[in-house]
Structure 1
Amino acid sequence: MYKGLETFRAIVEYRAAQQPQERFIQFEQESLTYQEWNDNGNKAANAAQRLGLRKGDTFAVMLPNGPEFLSIWLGLAKLGVIEVPINTALKGDSLEYILNKAECKAIVVSSEWIERIIAWKDELIHLEHIIVVGENVAKTSHAFHWHSFDGLLKQEDSTLPVEADIQPDDPSVILFTSGTTGPSKGVVLSHRANFSVAKTACGLMNYGEDDRLFTVFPLFHVNARYTTVLVALLMDCDVVMHNRFSASRFWDICRRENITAFNFMGSMLTILMKQPERPDDAENPVKKAFGAPTPTEIYPDFQERFGIEISEVYGSTELGTVATNPAAMFRKGACGQIVSIYECEIHDEAGFPCPVGQSGEIVVRPKQPGIMFTEYYGNPEATVQSWQDLWFHTGDTGRMDEAGYLYFVDRKKDVIRRKGENISSYEVERVINDHPNIYESAIIGVPSELAEEEVLAVIVLKAGEELEHEELLDFCQKRMAHFAVPRYIRFVEKLPRNTSQRVEKYKLRNEGVTEDTWDRELVGYKVQRT
């Protein structure tokens, strides 16, 4: 890592000057050298400037992983225009909300998603320019200025310098939260905050120039951007990037591309572990992986089967990484110890610190300036609300042990309150997912006829497997408290997910108890209080 290179523009330009023909990234079909990337970034910056974009303006990007995304990301960073990456699954009022909330003046979008923009043309009050990647699209609306991405870049000189003063504390990006617990908020991050995330990952994983990083996560997400791409820039290693996670092809890709490390999120490790065993499972070049959550029930078996070391982290879009649980000193069930740049406490409902071992809300504050988010864009009320008593409130519940290890319990929204007991959906899911016939599950709370909530398990079975409801409850009774055993069970083909592989539980809550949901009370199944 190089001191003084603390903006995205600076680090890419440095690499391009030092090793212009070195390959930096390999997509599924295309690759990009440092020089190619920097040249395209210059063209994109000058094209945006020609369209009237200036430092501090906001610019939406709705693209799959590919060279175009990297080029526009770099171009906007060179110019000081604030990038607004958009989840490519969004449509309708969710898409309209982000474009208006972030006051985007322009958007670069894949041609396949143009109709999603046009459908809301009368409501998009700030949007002026639509830049299309892919097939030429007819100008179906006169409400905007239309451009071809390739056409714009062909008009620009890659050697023409971009005149803009970019500082580490300037806003770099607005990343909208997934909105699983409420309206999506635009998290404003500076270059310094982004570099803080990357540097923490570098230290945790001890990356070096011989590493090759693999990501299947989208470039509109922190994981791919700042714990893969920016990490590789800092450590002088390269990246292999795909658009989707394929469990059946994952290890073959790692072997073919000589991958040494990857990041994981959501149920990725569990899904990989449930793939049919192969005699060559451990014969792969991967040495290490990090992410969250790490399922404790498969942690040692996964490492032994695939021959890799797993580290865990805890953090958020707003904060970056707050706690790390390195493989060399891994503590089962914990997220790890708090990183040196943050303070962390557990607070009760009244805002007082909880005793060791007692659950409460995880609250955090920085020890250094500029390392976390600046604000929620256009939402001062939410910004102020998140900072109570000079602590940032994460909305997560957790606890600390005597050694200072942090333990995640659940999202506050996902804690189920049943007959006076607090139930962690995360803990119930861990038990249920350990059943050999089950692929994955999601646990939610649904309204009770009496008061508070009942537990509903939404379950995806492995292909070709069957499971009786009573058999599952028998399995649960041996492994969890009686009050946590689900009352309702519903089998589905798949769980609703966002592109970060997080289950969209709000959709399941909205559906609630459906006609195909099984109720143990209706059939007289009794849970033993032992």
Structure 2
Amino acid sequence: MTTTEADALLPVAQRTLPQMLRRQATRFGDAPAVRIGGQRWRHDDVPRRAAARAGALQAAGIERGDRVAILAGNRAEFLEAFLGCGWAGAVAVPINSASMGPQIEYFLANSQAKLLVIEAQYLPRLATADLARTSLQRIWVLEGEGGTPGVDLPGVVVEAWPAAGEAVAAAEVGPADTLAILYTSGTTGPSKGVLCPHAQYYWWGVNSLRVLGVRGDDVLCTTLPLFHINALNTFAQACLSGAEVAFEGRFSASGFWPAMQACGATVVYLLGAMVPILLAQPEGAAEREHRVRVGLGPGVPGAAGEAFAARTGVRLLEGYGSTETNFVIATAPDSPRGGVMGWVLPGFEARVADEHDAELPDGQAGELLLRAHEPHAFASGYFNMPDKTIEAWRNLWFHTGDRVVREADGALRFVDRIKDAIRRRGENISSFEVEQVLQSHPAVATVAVYPVRSELAEDEVMAALILREGHAPAPQELAEWCEARLPYFAVPRWFDIVDDLPRTENGKVQKYKLRERGVTPTAWERPAQARARRA
């Protein structure tokens, strides 16, 4: 069974999740669709599951437009809750599973979520979240191996994940209606909730299967977390093409190829740092004894991509997209050269611009601006942040904050990030949020958090701190302070106690000078075993 890109195209009004689910049931019937958490779903199972979960949501008081937060690993209930929200016209709010109490509180309060679906192991984190500052009314707990921890959460109804409800008719949602709010790390402020419409999700699927050449007989396999658009997008690809998608629980360097063998994967999804990690493993037969024909590997260093292809026989395609935009730039198996993000895909425009949004000539670095031809193919803004929305979408272009160069043949080459953000292990880290945590330590007077390069050709987090007079905490104490309050990937690797920071004439810290300075001889490095616990 094969499919073509043209088969996946739907009229504008039908570019919604319920229409996608109905279509897949009709076209692909009892063909395998999803493998997740030990469960197997057929294509015609999916809309029934969505309708039944939507019924349970409505029975719990969730109405159209209400937000439902989801904090869980890659398990069937996560996907069922996401699809149920889309079917009912509610809005899913996936939360990074590494989030701690303060971040969880912020996501709940900012999104005004009424219901939280949470895995039992994460319940204790709510002890450091002030739920009275949120709109949360009810919590559904997904049981874990250790049962449900006892957590006192006054004012909130806490109950086990309910059985599927009575199936309900799909809400009459349109392509512009919001399907999900996905949080992307802030750069000079709190994380922003990206309003992702139904049609944007549809186009993520269409563009991805177009780039990867996904067919109905493919098995797509991802180890990436479902709270990111990358993994959620793999379901859209399977839904539109008739392929099967397998969700692994997590990425494991030693277990990656055995997992691909076990599920019969033909298409895989990797992020930049994952490839050097896989290449650092001892060579083995499993790297060749698989069915994988292509992979998506945005941000993979060129030399690592070549070495990966030589060892595994899998060519990784480069690409560019963001939560706010779509899959807009990509290479192809027959691209004339590597070392670039790729070429702009049909349906999109890209401009390399100066600080005034004026287009720059080829070969000159500037900010990447993007826009879409199709309606609602991009996000519609930031939830409850109209000023940030206007700033990002000014002059009818989305401003990515990334500095790129357009080559003479139209290829776009990434240079660096303009925004004050850090990317580590595929995660976007807000320096602002890390600074706020360190600033809350009683011994810290001033702090600047910034990226330095690592041996994996990605960012590592470094903090330069000025201490309050009379205080002299050990760097290990500062690291432990962060570990208790930040996602593991956001905890700085390097801590540098300094007397002063480079500043402008008006006192603003010049982080670019700190980045240029890099790791100093006086910096203390967090022990490797601590960094590796969750990396």
Class of the TM-score when normalised by the shorter of the 2 chains: 0.7 to 0.9
Q: Which among 201, 204, 211 is matched to residue 204 of structure 1? A: 211
Q: Tell me, what secondary structure is at the counterpart of 1:176?
A: strand
Q: Are residues 1:89 and 2:91 paired?
A: no
Matching of residues 27-426 of structure 1 within 5 Å: 27-134=36-143, 135=147, 140-150=152-162, 152-153=163-164, 156-157=165-166, 160-162=167-169, 164-179=171-186, 182-226=189-233, 228-279=234-285, 281-413=287-419
Amino acid at match of 1:42: A
Amino acid at match of 1:186: G
Q: Tell me, what secondary structure is at the counterpart of 1:284?
A: coil
Which shifted more, 312-321 or 172-181? Answer: 172-181
Q: Show CA shifts across 1:404-450 (max 9, x none).
A: 1111111114699xxxxxxxx99x94xx74xxxxx66636787799x
1:182 deviation in Å? 4.0
Amino acid at match of 1:126: S
Change (3 A) 1:36 1:412: same
Does the CA-based 8 Å contact 2:102-2:128 persist in structure 1? Answer: no
> Distance in 2 between the 1:35 and 1:369 partners?
28
Q: Tell me, what secondary structure is at the counterpart of 1:61?
A: strand
1:2 deviation in Å? 5.2
Percent identity, aligned pairs only? 28
Amino acid at match of 1:213: L
Q: Tell me, what secondary structure is at the counterpart of 1:328?
A: coil
Q: Tell me, what secondary structure is at the counterpart of 1:407?
A: strand
Structure 1 gaps of 5+ residues are 417-424, 434-438, 450-491, 522-530
> Distance in 1 between the 2:116 and 2:465 partners?
45
Change (3 A) 1:60 1:209: same
Which shifted more, 364-373 or 94-103? Answer: 364-373
Change (3 A) 1:514 1:241: farther
Q: Tell me, what secondary structure is at the counterpart of 1:363?
A: strand
Change (3 A) 1:225 1:110: same
Change (3 A) 1:165 1:137: farther
Change (3 A) 1:253 1:348: same
Q: Show CA shifts across 1:265-308 (max 9, x none).
A: 13011111221112553232110001311211122222121111
Matching of residues 500-511 of structure 1 within 5 Å: 504=490, 507=492, 511=495
Amino acid at match of 1:124: R
Q: Tell me, what secondary structure is at the counterpart of 1:146?
A: strand
Amino acid at match of 1:63: A
Which shifted more, 353-362 or 398-407? Answer: 353-362
Change (3 A) 1:233 1:166: same
> Distance in 2 between the 1:26 and 1:34 partners?
11
Q: Show CA shifts across 1:298-338 (max 9, x none).
A: 22222121111221101111001221111211532210111
Does the CA-based 8 Å contact 2:321-2:329 persist in structure 1? Answer: yes
Does the CA-based 8 Å contact 1:397-1:412 persist in structure 2? Answer: yes
Provide the TM-score with structure 1 as the length reference.
0.77
Provide the TM-score with structure 2 as the length reference.
0.77
1:196 deviation in Å? 1.1
Change (3 A) 1:391 1:14: closer
> Distance in 2 between the 1:443 and 1:387 partners?
29
Corresponding residue number in structure 2 for 1:481? none
Does the CA-based 8 Å contact 1:130-1:145 persist in structure 2? Answer: yes
> Distance in 2 between the 1:314 and 1:513 partners?
37
Does the CA-based 8 Å contact 2:92-2:180 persist in structure 1? Answer: yes
Matching of residues 445-456 of structure 1 within 5 Å: none
Amino acid at match of 1:315: G
Q: Which among 512, 519, 522 is matched to residue 521 of structure 2? A: 519
Q: Tell me, what secondary structure is at the counterpart of 2:249?
A: coil
Which shifted more, 161-170 or 377-386? Answer: 161-170
1:389 deviation in Å? 2.9
Structure 2 gaps of 5+ residues are 1-7, 423-449, 467-478, 500-518, 524-535
Does the CA-based 8 Å contact 1:414-1:444 persist in structure 2? Answer: no
Q: Are residues 1:15 and 2:21 paired?
A: no
Corresponding residue number in structure 2 for 1:479? none
State the superposition RMSD in angstroms. 3.2
Amino acid at match of 1:254: M
Does the CA-based 8 Å contact 2:305-2:315 persist in structure 1? Answer: no
Does the CA-based 8 Å contact 1:121-1:143 persist in structure 2? Answer: no
Choose between structure 1 and 2 for higher RCO, CA contacts under 8 A separated by at least 6 residues: 2
Does the CA-based 8 Å contact 2:43-2:239 persist in structure 1? Answer: no
